[in-house]
Homo-oligomer: A and B are copies of this chain.
Amino acid sequence: MAILQEPKKNYGRLKNYINGEWVDSVSTEVRNVVNPATTEVIAQVPLSTRNEAEKAIQAARDAFWEWRETPGVQRARYFFKLKELMERHFEEISRTLVQEMGKTIGEARGEMRRGIEEVEVACGVPALMQGYNSEDVAPGVDEECIRQPIGLFCCIPPFNFPALVPLEYMPYAVASGNTYIVKPTSDVPLCQMKIFELIHEAGFPPGVVNLVNGSREVVKVFLESPHIKGVSFVGSTPVAKEIYVTAAQNNKRAQCAGGAKNFVVVMPDAVLDKTIPSLITSFFGATGQRCLSGAVLLPVGDIYDEVKKRFVDAARRFKLGYGLDEETQMGPLYSKKHMESVVKYIEQGVREGAKLLLDGRGIKVEGYPNGYFVGPTIFDEVRQDMVIANEEIFGPVACIMRAESFDRALEIIDANRFGHSGIIFTSSGKWAREFEYRVQCGNIGINVGLAAPMAFFTLGGVQGRESFYGDLHGRKESLWFFTERKIVVRRWL
């Protein structure tokens, strides 16, 4: 067991990054950052004060107009630099990510790669944010749609992708001419701090990108401030909805991603040898703490028994450990509290009468006796009315339900309230097309364990379900969120 070296053992008390400077918070309210495998405290986060949040807002407001007048090609160039720096510090930040959040080093590298891809796509902003125009909409009258940045935006990310999520929004917002504040999740703030060190090094003008550590109070300031024009949130459904409604009341834009409960259909004609490893990654990768993780497995028809058997066998062999061990396949849950929540769901499943084929509770990982580990857990004979079949557990807990037919599988999926991601394994073009066409989910996978779209697409649940609130999603599509169009009708006399 060769553990990779940690970048630091203790990161001390974190600072805010406001107006181009690292500043200490005056706050005495401090939260510990804990390595969930070792349970060591590795940093302290002061929860910033209302006044500090307002200072960041002021800095970002002051920086706006000059930044907005900076040519797009120059704004993009800061992101080219940031990408270069992220490549250079790739391994170091990946390891910090393991330390604070618990995922495996492979998963951490994957997250960093995805984050870099967001920055790469945002580098294309000069081409991506162009307006359009028509000559002669009436004799001698031309018309033009121009897209302009709006002002100040902020991001409130979740714990599970603490490096990536702000990068799904901030680069697009800032490259398109807005200024920005990130409020990292206070449990897992380290890699975002490190990314801001690179932002600093990249030389962004002061006030353009800011970081304020904190919790609900800071969010409250943001939502109430008339100067914040929009918010990108990723977290639980109740908070997503609350923020979305508050933003509506306060005349702000909002795009709020909430929970998920993702279903994975396996058709009888699936290529099982390659399907099973994908299922394992889908359900247990990132210890199940991904919005795109598989949650309910729906083998269709006769393939049920074989899928179940092979899935359980493979899950059983999945190796738990500390994420900095290259051999580890699954790390701990990110916090004690979250581990307890996952365990409670398992108990609930047992109580509800689901059949526990594999029980990850109480697992002991050598060398990490106090780590927040829960092993792969598989329930069979899950019924549609059980809590575990409906709520987001966000841990390595798979529910298996038999679906008699493709149509029945679709029915089960669409009865779920989230509508986030749907997956099908099949070799049939027909089933794949039917699935894409009909399933009410925003992220659809055909023979992939995770329907994780690239940055030059978008990501997110569909309208009217409970995994997403808003009209405009992140990534490339967010250029519509972060800019406002003006229509100019022009005539010369």
Contact = CB atoms under 8 A, between A and B. Distances in A.
Interface of A: 69-73, 76-77, 80, 83-84, 117, 120-121, 123-124, 126-139, 141-146, 148, 150-151, 226, 229-230, 241, 244-245, 247-249, 251-253, 270-271, 274-275, 425-430, 432-434, 436-437, 441-448, 450-454, 456-459, 462-464, 466, 469-473, 476-477, 480-481, 484-493
A152 to B, nearest CB: 10
A69 B492 contact: no
Contact of A71 (B138, B436, B473): B138
Given A80-B120, A443-B487, 15 more contacts: A70-B139, A71-B138, A73-B117, A77-B120, A120-B123, A129-B134, A131-B132, A131-B134, A143-B454, A146-B436, A150-B464, A241-B251, A427-B428, A436-B488, A453-B489
Copies in the complex: 4
A131 B128 contact: no
Contacts of A146: 133, 135, 436
A453 B491 contact: no
A131 B432 CA distance: 18
A179 B490 CA distance: 27
A33 to B, nearest CB: 32
B71 A486 contact: no
A136 B69 contact: yes
B464 A251 contact: yes
Contacts of A451: 487-489
A491 B245 contact: no
B128 A463 contact: no
A70 to B, nearest CB: 7
Given A71-B136, A73-B120, A150 B481 contact: no
Contacts of A457: 134, 143, 145, 487
Given A480-B480, A485-B458, A489-B448, A463 B230 contact: yes
